[in-house]
Structure 1
Amino acid sequence: MKRAVLLTLLAAAAAVAVLLVVRHLERPPAGPLEPAWDRQTCAHCRMHLSERPFAAQAHTADGEVLFFDDPGCLFAWEEAGGAAAAIWFHHLREERWLAGADSGFVAAAPTPMGWGLGAVDRDEPGAIPVDEARRRVRQRGMPAAPMEGGGDDGQPAH
């Protein structure tokens, strides 16, 4: 009888430990992760992430990390119903990631999918806010295929 109780307690303790580990693993990362450059594909357009200055990532509430080759792809993914708990953009000119709330966007060309947007610090002169960049992508719609260049107004080339 004592042995049965002990085995039951051990089994219950093991089950609780497994649940705690699973719950911990499902939490979104606390900060940006590095993609497998040139091997990881964009969650929206499926192109490989190869140009660091234009990469972006979304962390979902269930802990999934999605990578994007262009800020416009992240915005298009959101527009299609994607829900992110946190977003990060690679800085256009520096080797660092910016949290979505700390990001602004400037015109850049060419970009991987032709959106013409590059992330910078939000207080950089001439930077537009994230919501304005998102609005421009929504207004433009998703390109059917990769495009070269972008206009000086931050809009993708036609």
Structure 2
Amino acid sequence: MMKYLKVVLLLAISLSFIACEKETQKGASKVHWDRDMCSRCVMVVSDRKNTVQVKNPDTQKTYMFDDIGCMVLWFEEEGLGWQDKAIVWITDVDTGEFIDARVAFYDTNNVTPMAYGFSAHKTKEVIKEGEEIISYDEVVKRVKKIGQ
């Protein structure tokens, strides 16, 4: 009876770890604020309003960035073949919630850690009237132009 109980307990623990791992793969990874480092500039990630995470879909490895500009230039500099398949999360500047960076709305006149100035919003309705609103692709294009 005791042996059966140990097997059931071991199975339950194993299944809970598998469930946790699958959940982590779906969403943004946990950030260790003030300890994780930007993969490009190696500054500590501490700004909870402009943090970016990139996940390699093949290896599930996550890369942290303190500013979306660092992420764009990192991809350019590293010449990685999986850029278009990458899963990209960015924090909503208003809530700090991680959102899909590719569908977010960006305004262009913000104070960001590396001074690129692009901050993400989950919806465009929260961006102040009169502010320029651009897409992820436009952010990438502008950062590349700045980085030349």
Superposed pair shares fold, TM > 0.5: yes
| Match status 1:129 vs 2:129 | no
The CA RMSD over aligned residues, in Å, is 2.7
1:7-156 to 2 correspondence within 5 Å?
29-61=25-57, 62-80=59-77, 81-82=79-80, 83-84=82-83, 85-121=86-122, 123-124=124-125, 126-141=132-147
The structure carrying a bigger helix percent of its residues is 2
Q: Supply the AA of the counterpart residue of 2:137.
A: D
Tell me the TM-score normalised to structure 1 length. 0.67
Tell me the TM-score normalised to structure 2 length. 0.71
Q: Is the 8 A contact 1:70 1:115 kept in 2?
A: yes
The C-alpha deviation readout for 1:71-97, integer Å capped at 9, x for no partner, is: 111111122224342000100111311
Paired residue secondary structure (1:139): helix
Q: Is the 8 A contact 2:101 2:120 kept in 1?
A: no
Q: Which moved more, 1:97-106 or 1:41-50?
A: 97-106
The C-alpha deviation readout for 1:43-93, integer Å capped at 9, x for no partner, is: 011000011101000000211000000011111112222434200010011
The C-alpha deviation readout for 1:112-157, integer Å capped at 9, x for no partner, is: 1010110112544542000000000000007xxxxxxxxxxxxxxx
% identity of equivalent residues: 28
Instruction: Work out the number of aligned pairs and report it.
Output: 121
Q: Supply the AA of the counterpart residue of 2:42.
A: R
Structure 2 residues without counterparts, runs of 5 or longer: 1-20
